[in-house]
Amino acid sequence: MTDSTPTSAPAGWFPAGVEGQERYWDGTSWTDQVRPVGGIATATGAVPAPPTAPAPEKKPRNILGIVALAVAVVGFIFACIPGALIVGWILLPISFILGIIALFQKDKPKWQGLTAIIVSVVGTIVGVIVFMSLAAGAVSDAIDDTVTEEVGTSDVVDEETSADEGPAVEEEPAVADAEDLVLGETAFGVDTESGMGWYAVEVTNPNADYIFAGAGIDVEAYDANGVLIDTDSTYGTILSGTSWYVGDFFDIGSAQIDHIEVRGPTADAATHSPAAETGSFTLGEVNTGSEYDYMTVNGTVTSNFSEDQDMVRIDLIARDGGGKIVGVDYTFTDRVPSGGTAAWNVEFWKVPLDSKVEAYPHL
């Protein structure tokens, strides 16, 4: 092989005497590095080309987890909308089940399924809160006013007219002051299987021309040592006349209820509303039946209010043959039309099937 590069040439690649090859001249002598013309050195001592990096491995996708998360998000949104609660309550259990299945997908990401489960649980809780807010109504500032045992009486203050005021001027009759609510019969009990307690209290509004709007009735359960065990509250508008209010104690546990106390608004919280202008409800016949080991109860309620009434609550008490209250329950009507009638029904659990049931409608 003949190399024609002069010894004075600078370092670089020059024809190597073989067609199609070049050899590297380091400025003083030829090296063993050769390459194709315009290519990369391949002879002894040549620096090898860096290896090509492998293509990044694609991570697997958990399609079921993504679907569960999407359904959970949509269900959560609907659960926050009062008019669309039922849609949320359908979607959230579905997302919960799909999320559990997604967690067991082999070699698939788990975070979508876990997130779907969390969102569905939180969404369900939010949906329950929204529903209870609709059922409860507005909370009165008079909740803090106390009524215990007897909700109270109020004396009417008569204003004396001075004799030297001159001739009497005919005026409109003065409006009598409101009287306090009066607490009547009470009852309570505990379901030994579930550990939940129940109560029923009779409350009379003696005022024909006063109502207690947005009123709260708090019922407290105490043990034999006077320790407060649990409290339950009912909110609404107390109309004129006598009615019953029922509810449940959820946190009784292993404790025993010895007595209950009732707290509610005083006369100061009453709102003047003439009887001729205030609406009222008329309850139809209460019908009872049985299915398996529980009682079925249904009836109607008629309104003479000037406007439709939404979420009317029906409180029920069951009495045995001796007149003792042996159980309580309640339900709601979606709407009672103005001057119209709406039906209601409820399944009454764990009361004797021959019990007599009384029903009381509330705003």
Does residue 351 or residue 169 have the better pLDDT?
351
Residues 77 and 120 in one domain: yes
Torsion of CA 315, 320, 326, 329, to 10 degrees: -20
Residue 254: pLDDT band by 50, 70, 90 thresholds? confident
Of 226 and 72, more confident: 226
Whole-number pLDDT of residue 244: 94
- Res 334 pLDDT > 80: yes
Q: Does residue 320 share a domain with residue 239?
A: no
User: Is 159 domain-assigned?
Assistant: no
156 lies in some domain? no
Q: Is 307 inside any structural domain?
A: yes
Per-residue pLDDT reduced to its tens digit, 266-296: 999 999 999 888 889 999 999 999 888 889 9
Question: What is the rounded CA–CA span in Å between residue 232 and residue 262?
Answer: 10
Where in 223-286 does DSSP place strands (E)? 228-238, 241-249, 259-263, 271-272, 281-283
The count of domains in the chain is 4
Q: Which of 71, 57, 77, 56 is nearest to 112 (CA)?
A: 71
Domain range enclosing 319: 281-362
Kindly state whether residues 71 and 112 are assigned to the same domain. yes
Main-chain phi, psi angles of 131, to 5 degrees: -65, -45
pLDDT of residue 38: 67
**What local confidence, expressed as pLDDT, does residue 137 receive?**
62
Residue that is written with structure tokens 């709407």 in the block: 335
User: Of 102, 117, 136, at which residue does a domain stop?
Assistant: 136
Q: Quick one: pLDDT at residue 167?
A: 57
User: Is 82 inside any structural domain?
Assistant: yes
- Summarised one tens digit per residue, pLDDT across range 86-143 is 887 787 788 788 878 877 777 778 777 788 788 888 888 887 887 787 767 654 554 4
SS3 category, 144:
helix
According to the model, what pLDDT value does residue 46 have? 43
> Which of 217, 238, 272 is the last residue in one of the domains?
272
pLDDT at 149 over 70: no
Is residue 172 domain-resident?
A: no
Same domain, 101 and 15: no
Q: Can you tell me the mean pLDDT for 234-250?
A: 92
| 27 pLDDT higher than 80 | yes
Instruction: Give me the mean pLDDT over the 202-224 stretch.
Output: 93
Q: Where do runs of H (alpha helix) occur along the chain?
A: 63-79, 85-103, 111-136
Residues 116 and 68 in one domain: yes
Domain with 286 in it: what CATH number? 2.60.40.10
Does position 148 have pLDDT exceeding 70, yes or no?
A: no
- In terms of domains, do 199 and 264 share one? yes
Residue 54 lies in a domain: no
Band of residue 356 on the pLDDT scale cut at 50, 70, 90: very high
Q: What mean pLDDT do residues 40-67 have? A: 56
Mean pLDDT, residues 307-331 taken together: 93
Contact 24, 31 (CB under 8 A): yes
Residue 349 is assigned to a structural domain of this protein = yes
User: Sheet containing 197-205: which strands, arranged edge to edge?
Assistant: 182-190, 197-205, 241-249
Can you give the pLDDT at residue 281? 93
pLDDT of the residue at 171: 60
| Lowest mean per-residue pLDDT among 27-31, 71-75, 220-224 | 71-75
Residues 289 and 227 in one domain: no
Taking phi over 0 as left and psi of -120 to 50 as alpha, with beta for the rest, 237 belongs to beta
230, 248, 272 — which closes off a domain?
272
Question: Does residue 99 belong to any structural domain of this protein?
Answer: yes
